[in-house]
Amino acid sequence: MTFMNAFRPLVLMLAAAASSASLAAHQATPPRPPAGAPAAGQAVRTKDVDSTAVTAIVVDVVVRDRDGKPVTDLKASDFELYEEKVLQDVGSFTPVNRPEPAAAAPAAAAASVTPPPGAPTATTQAPQVIALLFDRLTPDAKSLAYKAALNYIGQGSTANNVVGVFGIDLSLIFYQPFTRDGDALRKAVEDAVGRATSGSQSGRSAAVKAAQAADAAQATLQAQEAAAGQGGGVDAAAAANAVFSNMTSRIAQQFTSLESDEEGYSTANALLAIVSSMKAIPGRKTMVFFSEGLSITTNVQSRFTSVIAAANRANVSIYPMDAAGLRTESTLAATREGVQGASSRRMNANPTSLPNDRPMTEALETNEALLHADPHSGLGQLADQTGGFLIANSNDLRDGFGKIETDMRHYYVLTYVPKNTNFDGKFREIDVRVKRSGVRVRGRKGYFAVNTAAGASVLDHETKALAALARTPVPNAFPVRALPLTFPEPGRSGLTPVLVSLPTSGITFLPADDKKTYTSDFVVLVQFKDDQGQVLEKVSQRYRLNGPIERLADAKLGEVLFYREPMLIPGTFTTETVVYDMLADKASVRFGTYELPSVDPKALRLSSLVVVRRSERVPTAERPEKNPLFVGDQLLYPSMGEPFSKAAFKELPFYFVAYPAPGGAPVQATLQLAANGQKLAEAPLELPAAGADGRVAEVSRIPIEALAPGTYELRVTVRQGPVSATRGVTFRLVP
């Protein structure tokens, strides 16, 4: 649907009301806010943040003797806890000692356990929870993982612990939510190892073969060049073969790199989702990750760091099991040979015969990928940083489960309030020591200093943006506008599109190392909190804008528009919007309130009323699927509260969507214009027929030439039989 050219009933009424509107508009016009002030309609937090009201940090540690047996008789005075090498005051101290599974009492009586002689009283009311996560595994690896998992679950009708079974492919697979139902868990494990999953082994194999062919072609060409120096000649076919072989190798390498990134993101996202959800359960939680290796590419590194941070915040210890079993060849040796091979190919190549599409950094890129691809590198880091350990080089993984079970039954929980109360988003190391010789201590390595008592997982790039929320006074370094909208779409009644706009003039741009390009690095984050302060939804994006240095002035004249489509449940929320400039360590924060009304999906519903700033025609192949701001062939850009100049705009476009009840009466609509609380004009709207999807999308415009500068409110009311709904939006006119 395209914009209507005129709206005659309202035109006449506006002309009649123009004189009375002029005085009202002048009287109602608020003083213009200073540059960078929050957008109109946004509530600004004025009460200072209590920076001392920080959440206690919880640290659970496992202590073993030289023989690997748990040490269960330690007291609070036996521990020293350091944060960033500063000794902290330990608050609560809780030793946890549970009975052996075979001797465990029924679930109802398991809360009271007699500790070993001399040990402090243990608190064991929290359930033991363990997640089993199956990565993409080869058939042999599946066999090992299957035997280990079934042995752990046992053959009884009830498992000893609460267990969930999940898998990773291109997305997270839910084989069995958390339960103690033994039959359901065994069936879930069978499904996990029986399902065929995608993998990149074929792509990597093709890349290796292509690289070998390129090396062979290069060697042939070099031999001919050497002979040419002694009076011989170079075969043109050999030179062409070297060029095309190198092109093929680059294609295979590029595809493998992209495939590795895709696998890395899906693996990290699955890990992040599971560990974040386990935060709600008190006490130490466990994840067993069956994998044959974790390739951490450069692009995935940030998300992988977020997994470790989320696991530490949720008190989840991750125990990776290398399901490849006892490897016939050291993975470190294989990695070393690969690195040496990639480097030697680069060093021995004749620079004059290399195709110009192969960068000089190719060897370094290959080396880095090979190092990160080593299974013990990524899996070991995942275990070490979360207080678990790696089970590897064994064809019997059951012993690993025995050690994990011991960790789950015997550990200590310490809490402390950091002496450094400035939660600045930086990573802080934790070091727990025991005043007893001959013991080994394992626990979380640290945390990101963000006050995240309210729920949602935190990605690596979000930490300093969230820390900006606690600054006093609230930072306001550059202009930012935020706009949440309501579009109760069929099947998505809680759809809440949110937009954030900011001019790039406020963002820091710096010359890159090559002095030929510019770069920027900033984060946009929006979160919705309920009245209890719980984060119900959080969306974010890290932006790294770059381009030729000669275009830097143009880059500073642009605008960034952040758009996401979170789903919310009905309620009233506090919205927190942060834009954090990483290069300059500066930020702008906006607070507001937002109400998502409860709707009946079978009754008449109405979206937000949107004033349209501009529209853009989108080619068919690029049209966004199910985007509520897309109408016909146009993508609509809502006004974010910017004033409309009467010199530039003769008419004011607006847009809304009505969702009539199926089979009900025709939908009627009325448009009203008001200023300073006084109705200036009102007229009926003739709506189009509902589309095939049941939506009535109305795009129209009103003339504004007769209106005086000032602030106005546009309201629309739709009716279907006795049911009605109303939405409004304010806009400001300037000369």
Q: What is the pLDDT of residue 697?
A: 94
Mean pLDDT of the chain: 78
Q: What is the pLDDT of residue 221?
A: 62
User: What is the identity of the amino acid at 290?
Assistant: F
What stretch of H or E contains 141?
Answer: helix 139-153
Arithmetic mean of pLDDT, 423-436: 87
Count of other CB atoms within 10 angstroms of residue 605: 25
Arithmetic mean of pLDDT, 702-723: 94
Residue 127 in this model has a pLDDT that exceeds 50: yes
Residue 80 in this model has a pLDDT that exceeds 60: yes
Task: Tell me how far apart the alpha carbons of residues 5 and 703 are, in angstroms, rounded to a whole number.
Answer: 10
User: What is the identity of the amino acid at 531?
Assistant: D
pLDDT class of 89 with cuts at 50, 70, 90: very high
Q: What is the pLDDT of residue 654?
A: 96
Q: What is the pLDDT of residue 507?
A: 95
Q: What is the pLDDT of residue 313?
A: 81
Q: Taking Cα atoms as reference points, which of 469, 474, 482, 559 lies closest to residue 41?
A: 482
pLDDT class of 398 with cuts at 50, 70, 90: confident
Residue 216 in this model has a pLDDT that exceeds 50: yes
First to last CA, the chain: 30
Tens digits of per-residue pLDDT, 32-64?
333 333 333 333 332 233 333 446 788 989 999
Arithmetic mean of pLDDT, 413-429: 84
Lowest average pLDDT, out of 115-129, 343-357, 415-429, 698-712, goes to 343-357
Task: Tell me how far apart the alpha carbons of residues 277 and 193 are, in angstroms, rounded to a whole number.
Answer: 24
Tell me the sheet residues that pair with 718: 669, 725
Residues of each domain in the chain carrying CATH 3.40.50.410: 130-448
Task: Tell me how far apart the alpha carbons of residues 475 and 452 are, in angstroms, rounded to a whole number.
Answer: 19
Q: Taking Cα atoms as reference points, which of 182, 78, 196, 82 lies closest to residue 139?
A: 196
pLDDT class of 225 with cuts at 50, 70, 90: low
Question: What one-character-per-residue DSSP string does 490-553 give?
Answer: TTBTTB--EEEEEEGGGS--EE-TTSSEEE--EEEEEEEE-TT--EEEEEEEEE--EEEGGGHH
Task: Tell me how far apart the alpha carbons of residues 9 and 685 are, in angstroms, rounded to a whole number.
Answer: 9
Q: Is-contact 577 482, C-beta < 8 A? A: yes
Arithmetic mean of pLDDT, 485-504: 93
Q: What is the pLDDT of residue 525?
A: 95
Task: Tell me how far apart the alpha carbons of residues 498 and 485 are, in angstroms, rounded to a whole number.
Answer: 6
Lowest average pLDDT, out of 134-148, 230-244, 561-575, goes to 230-244
Contacts of 140 (CB under 8 A, 6+ apart): 324, 325
User: What is the identity of the amino acid at 175?
Assistant: Y
Q: Is-contact 177 183, C-beta < 8 A? A: no
Q: What is the pLDDT of residue 460?
A: 78
Q: What is the pLDDT of residue 129?
A: 92
Count of other CB atoms within 10 angstroms of residue 272: 22
Q: Taking Cα atoms as reference points, which of 49, 23, 43, 82 lies closest to residue 433?
A: 82
Arithmetic mean of pLDDT, 115-128: 51
Percent of the chain with pLDDT strictly greater than 70: 73
The pTM for the full model equals: 0.61
Helix axes of 398-409 and 139-153: crossing angle, nearest 10 degrees: 40
Lowest average pLDDT, out of 193-202, 280-289, 424-433, 495-504, goes to 193-202
Arithmetic mean of pLDDT, 222-227: 66
Q: Is-contact 639 718, C-beta < 8 A? A: no
Q: What is the pLDDT of residue 620?
A: 82
Task: Tell me how far apart the alpha carbons of residues 280 and 268 are, in angstroms, rounded to a whole number.
Answer: 20
Q: What is the pLDDT of residue 34?
A: 32
Arithmetic mean of pLDDT, 508-524: 92
Q: What is the pLDDT of residue 326?
A: 60
Residue 15 in this model has a pLDDT that exceeds 70: no
What would the two tokens of residue 686 be? 């003739």
What CATH number was assigned to the domain covering residues 130-448? 3.40.50.410
Please write down the HEC assignment for all residues of 182-205.
HHHHHHHHHHHHHCCCCCCHHHHH
Task: Tell me how far apart the alpha carbons of residues 731 and 714 are, in angstroms, rounded to a whole number.
Answer: 8
Q: What are the phi and psi torsion angles at 386 (to 5°)?
A: -115, 5
Q: How far is CA 625 from CA 375, 473, 631, in A?
A: 39, 41, 11
Arithmetic mean of pLDDT, 458-478: 88
Lowest average pLDDT, out of 17-21, 174-178, 328-332, goes to 17-21
Lowest average pLDDT, out of 16-25, 120-129, 277-286, goes to 16-25
Task: Tell me how far apart the alpha carbons of residues 410 and 412 are, in angstroms, rounded to a whole number.
Answer: 7
The angle subtended at Cα 166 by Cα 162 and Cα 167, nearest 5°, is 160
Arithmetic mean of pLDDT, 616-632: 86
Residue with tokens 């015997």: 410
Task: Tell me how far apart the alpha carbons of residues 117 and 119 are, in angstroms, rounded to a whole number.
Answer: 6
Q: Is-contact 653 3, C-beta < 8 A? A: yes
Q: How far is CA 468 from CA 362, 378, 521, 634, in A?
A: 39, 31, 16, 37
* Residue 315 backbone class (left: φ over 0; alpha: ψ -120 to 50; beta: rest): left
Count of other CB atoms within 10 angstroms of residue 66: 9
Tens digits of per-residue pLDDT, 346-376?
444 444 343 444 443 344 444 444 444 455 6
pLDDT class of 379 with cuts at 50, 70, 90: confident
Task: Tell me how far apart the alpha carbons of residues 296 and 261 are, in angstroms, rounded to a whole number.
Answer: 8
Q: What is the pLDDT of residue 524?
A: 96
Arithmetic mean of pLDDT, 509-524: 92
- How many CA atoms lie within 13 Å of 211's alpha carbon, on the beta-carbon side? 21
Task: Tell me how far apart the alpha carbons of residues 196 and 176 are, in angstroms, rounded to a whole number.
Answer: 17
Arithmetic mean of pLDDT, 459-487: 90
Percent of the chain with pLDDT strictly greater than 90: 42
Task: Tell me how far apart the alpha carbons of residues 319 and 385 are, in angstroms, rounded to a whole number.
Answer: 11
Q: What is the pLDDT of residue 261?
A: 75
Count of other CB atoms within 10 angstroms of residue 706: 15
Domain spanning 8-44+473-734, CATH class: mainly beta
Residues of each domain in the chain carrying CATH 2.60.40.10: 8-44+473-734
Task: Tell me how far apart the alpha carbons of residues 93 and 54 are, in angstroms, rounded to a whole number.
Answer: 19
Arithmetic mean of pLDDT, 570-581: 93
